[in-house]
């Protein structure tokens, strides 16, 4: 694992511990909707299940997400199907952000051209060059938007998609038990007796 990826993983762990629960609770209906679509779309070939992103845009977002949350020491954004979760968010509850995405992708392309003139796209760059470009834009709203989509897609409930094969949950050590059974004791007897 590289020092940069270790820092990203540590940041993700801290983020999920600190504000993850509040954020998930606040946006759960929209996240569930996005995840449900991602579950259906993630099994189809590239771009066939896209609703909001053009195939070229999806490749750029997928490449960014894969650098934000790489696959070096376990499943990352790409294995978790983050791009499909992100696509559905833009088609539904984040559709008002479509213009910001277009402007951000244009700025990403301009940054790639300035820093790596021979490159065709961000996705076509080598990992080190991708990191160079991301460092150049990491204080922009666009980068924050893509980082948010990456984290949401990585940690969403797998039954809704995004967190394919519980990759995100396994990484943070979350136990998948949505149907908890209460420990039966004296209070259950009292409730059953009406007392």
Euclidean distance between CA atoms 129 and 66, whole angstroms: 13
The Cβ of residue 33 has, within 10 Å, a number of other Cβ atoms equal to 17
Euclidean distance between CA atoms 108 and 60, whole angstroms: 9
- Residue 96 pLDDT level (bands cut at 50, 70, 90): very high
Render pLDDT for 145-172 as a digit per residue (tens, 0 to 9): 999 989 888 887 665 556 566 666 667 6
pLDDT at 174: 74
Domain limits of the chain? Answer: 3-174
pLDDT at 131: 96
Indicate if the pLDDT at residue 45 is higher than 50. Answer: no
Cβ(42)–Cβ(81) under 8 Å? yes
Euclidean distance between CA atoms 59 and 44, whole angstroms: 15
What average pLDDT does this structure show over 1-25? 56
Euclidean distance between CA atoms 125 and 144, whole angstroms: 21
- Residue 27 pLDDT level (bands cut at 50, 70, 90): low
């Amino acid at each position: 694992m590289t020092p940069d990826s270790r820092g990203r993983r540590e940041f993700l762990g801290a983020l999920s511990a600190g504000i993850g629960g509040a954020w998930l609770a606040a946006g759960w209906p929209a996240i569930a909707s996005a995840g449900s679509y991602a579950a259906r779309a993630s099994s189809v070939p590239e771009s066939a299940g896209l609703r909001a992103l053009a195939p070229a845009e999806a490749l750029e977002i997928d490449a960014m997400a894969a650098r934000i949350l790489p696959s070096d020491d376990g499943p990352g954004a790409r294995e978790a199907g983050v791009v499909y979760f992100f696509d559905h968010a833009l088609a539904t509850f984040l559709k008002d952000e479509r213009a910001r995405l277009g402007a951000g992708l244009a700025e990403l392309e301009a940054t790639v051209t300035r820093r790596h003139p021979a490159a065709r796209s961000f996705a076509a760059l080598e990992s080190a060059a991708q990191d160079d470009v991301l460092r150049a834009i990491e204080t922009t709203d666009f980068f924050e938007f893509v980082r948010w989509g990456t984290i949401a897609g990585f940690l969403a409930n797998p039954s809704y998609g995004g967190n394919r094969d519980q990759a995100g949950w396994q990484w943070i050590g979350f136990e998948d038990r949505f149907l908890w059974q209460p420990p039966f004791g004296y209070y259950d007897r009292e409730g059953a007796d009406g007392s």
